[in-house]
Amino acid sequence: MSSHWFKSGHEAFNSGFMWLGTNKDCETLRFFGRIAFGHGGQDDLRDSMADRDSHLQDVLSAPEGPHIAALFDFDGTIIAGYSATAMLWEKIKRREMTAEELVETANVMAQYSMGSMGFSGLMMAASKFMKGVTEDSYFEFGEELYQKHIARKVYPESRDLIEAHMAKGHTVAIVSSATIYQIEPTARDLNIEHVLCSQYEVENGEFTGNIIRPLCFGEGKVIAAEKLANEYDLDLKKSYFYSDSYDDIELLERVGNPRPLNPNNKLTEVAKERGWPLQKFDSRGQGKPVDYLRTIYATGSLVTSFVAGLPIWALTGSQREATNFSTGLFGDIATALTGVELDVSGEENLWVNRPCIFVFNHQSKADVMIMAKLVRKDVGGIAKKEVKDTPIIGKVMEMAGTVFVDRADGRNAIKAMEPLVDAIQIDRKSICIAPEGTRTLSPRIGPFKKGAFHLAMQAGVPMVPVVIHNAGDVAPKNEFVMRSATVKVDILPPVDTSKWKKATLNEHVAEVRGMFLKALGQSDEDAAMAEVAEAVAKSPRQANVKQTTPVRAKAGKTATKVAAKKTAPATKKATPATKKTTPRKKPVVAKTATAAKASSRSAAAKKPARKPAASKASATKKPAAKKTISRKAPLKKPAVSEK
């Protein structure tokens, strides 16, 4: 019973509900956490981030210009752990691997780890299992892996490094032995244009079971970086390369600024011998035992805080005072237990115009305790309807005046919020709402729903934007463990809603959302990328085809330049691609010279795809059906749909 209660409590903590309430001064701590790049000058940027870590200090003092490259390995450097491991476990979980494939995979991995098999042998073994599988289904599979596993593994410190290089105007690229299917969604999230990676051979939209050589591994990474440098006039002697592995020693030696990041033991030894600066991050990956304890106790404090307020209710008869006491107590206890400190600016705006509608951007389950600590008293909130059925917590929230809505039904959700108008006008309560409706996978602002704006207009109260910069540092979406961090929060001045009209509501939504974008240093293009990501989550293949990226792939026999994922299936006899595909507002380019052997994917989709030729094939045989990576039940569309 207790384990079920905790699981339910954790789900409620994740849900983004807001029932809040008491009074205590919030301490303002030194500025820390994610920096809003593009918002403020270089001096502000340097002052506010200089003590984050040594690698970042190097970037902040580096010269500017696109002739300097910032090259990043992927696994272990940008993300914690290995994307291939996430892919393997997801396949096992879906039961998509036969017993024979599992045994062979284990054998190959054992040989590779003992040094009796090289990386190319490992890739060849993997490619054999993929023969006849459609490439489109792997792009979709990669999107699902990103949403469920990889997005939460991105180091916030690595994100800061990438953004710092971009702020300096440097040319940023991922150089990885992994494949585009593992990397592209993360590259899109980070606004990284160039991806240099290993490739499987594709013919007529299907994997042939072969790899394209040379792979982007070891010396292959040097070849890739040099081709990128030749095309974009980069000075590798002034450039940076971040990696966690001694396998990348050739490229680390090739650049002028080698930067071991989360290095393995062998690379650590070499870095110390050669005086290379190194850095290790622990903000992602396997949590420490204390992090799990903090998370468990912080989640449980929601109920214990409510219980602590019961005597006030019993002795005074005031449910409101009891709720106010419990809400503030929960905010204080939960943030203290998790080691979360708040650096708040504009705190006076929390109190000048109550009641009001507090709107906040929603990155993390930590937003709940952050808002509780900030707003403290005389508030109500909204939660998804599933939370109402959570044992104990659902009842606690209902008693605190939470309204439960079906997020999938926008019209009824607005109707369900009608009682909140009375709570505002009669009870003089403020309401906390996350207009994005759900947590985002990254710090980018997602599309805003209109419920909060309808409510503000109907109740005739101002709207107060609460901009949370880096709650994802505490716990990104889909992450259980909460880690200590300093979270920057901007409380913006109240927005007057007295002249709002239903006919102009879209303009008001855009206006308020623009305030968030400005405070976070994000652009409309970043916002467009977030909308693309949401579309991808709903229908990966369709969204990717429509929002494909510019490609500048050129001829070559190396893995330097990479074909954009939806440009074309590689074919053995195709001529190198040299033109761009349909442009996207914010280009994210996956490139490899070998992938430039591509003919148009859209052209291939117009006719039935064929299996690669085989010795046993017969002219009279019917073409075999394409293989795809299967989806879980909730994803109703097949992995591949023919145009």
- Using DSSP, state whether 173 is helix, strand or coil: strand
* Closest alpha carbon to 147 in 547, 479, 639: 479
Q: What distance in Å separates the CA atoms of residue 610 and residue 263, rounded to the nearest whole number?
A: 44
Residue 471 lies in a domain: yes
Query: Residue 234 carries which DSSP code?
Result: -
Range of the domain at 296: 2-30+287-522
State the pLDDT at residue 524: 72
Structure tokens at 181: 């299917």
Strands 240-243 and 430-433: unpaired
When divided into structural domains, the chain yields a total of 1
Residue 405's SS3 state is: strand
- pLDDT at position 170: 97
Please give, one letter per residue, the 3-state secondary structure of 418-460: HHHHHHHHCCCCEEEECCCCCCCCCCCCCCCCCHHHHHHHHHC
The CA radius of gyration of the chain, in Å to the nearest whole number, is: 26
Whether residue 478 is contained in a domain is answered as yes
Report pLDDT for 389: 63
**8 Å CB contact between 559 and 224:** yes
On average, the pLDDT of the chain sits at: 75
Q: Is the pTM of this model over 0.75?
A: no
Residue 242 corresponds to which tokens in the numbers above? 């971040």
**Other residues' Cβ atoms within 10 Å of the Cβ of residue 399:** 14
The CATH code of the domain that includes 381 is 3.40.1130
Q: Summarize the confidence of residues 574-583 as an average pLDDT.
A: 29
Give the model's confidence band at 566: pLDDT under 50 very low, under 70 low, under 90 confident, else very high.
Answer: very low
Phi, psi angles (nearest 5°) of residue 627: -90, 150
The dihedral sign for the CA sequence 379, 385, 386, 392: positive
In a domain, 436, yes or no: yes
- Neighbour-count burial for 513-524, b at 16+ CB within 10 Å, e otherwise: bebbbebbbbee
User: Distance between CA atoms of 179 and 202, rounded to whole angstroms?
Assistant: 13
Confidence of residue 398 (pLDDT cuts 50, 70, 90): low
Q: Strand (E) positions, 353-402?
A: 357-360, 379-384
Q: How many helices (H) and strands (E) does the chain have?
A: 23, 13
For position 328, what pLDDT does the model report? Answer: 93
pLDDT category of residue 272 using cuts at 50, 70 and 90 = very high
Q: How confident is the model at residue 486 (pLDDT cuts 50, 70, 90)?
A: very high
Q: State the pLDDT confidence band at 601, using cuts at 50, 70 and 90.
A: very low
Residue 18 vs residue 234, higher pLDDT: 234
Cis peptide leading into residue 277 (ω within 30°): no
Q: Which range among 98-107, 289-298, 418-427, 621-630 has the greatest average pLDDT?
A: 289-298
Tokens of 482: 């909460």
Instruction: Write down the pLDDT at residue 234.
Output: 97
Residue 228 placed within a domain: no
Residue 592's Cβ-side half-sphere holds a number of Cα atoms within 13 Å equal to 32
Parallel, antiparallel or unpaired: strands 194-203 and 340-345: unpaired
Helix, strand or coil for residue 177?
Answer: strand
Strand partners of residue 463: 357, 495
Answer whether residue 113 is part of any domain. no
d(CA 293, CA 298): 8
pLDDT at 334: 94
Tokens 């939209």 locate to 205
Higher-scoring residue by pLDDT: 429, 547: 429
Whether 227 has a pLDDT exceeding 60, the answer reads yes
Angle at 30 between CA 26 and CA 31, to 5 degrees: 105
- Tokens for 213? 């050589």
Q: Which residue has the higher pLDDT, 352 or 129?
A: 352
Examine residue 256 and state whether it is found in any structural domain, yes or no.
no
**Alpha-carbon span 386 to 389, nearest angstrom:** 6
CB atoms within 10 A of CB 504: 11
Distance CA 372, CA 360 (A): 12
Q: What is the pLDDT of residue 38?
A: 35
pLDDT above 80: residue 327: yes
The pLDDT score that the predictor gives to residue 420 is: 84
pLDDT score, position 565:
34
* 363 neighbors 61 (Cβ within 8 angstroms): no
Domain membership flag for residue 96? no
Burial class (CB in 10 A: 0-12, 13-18, 19+), 176: buried
| Residue 23 included in any domain | yes
Two structure tokens written together for 411: 């019209």
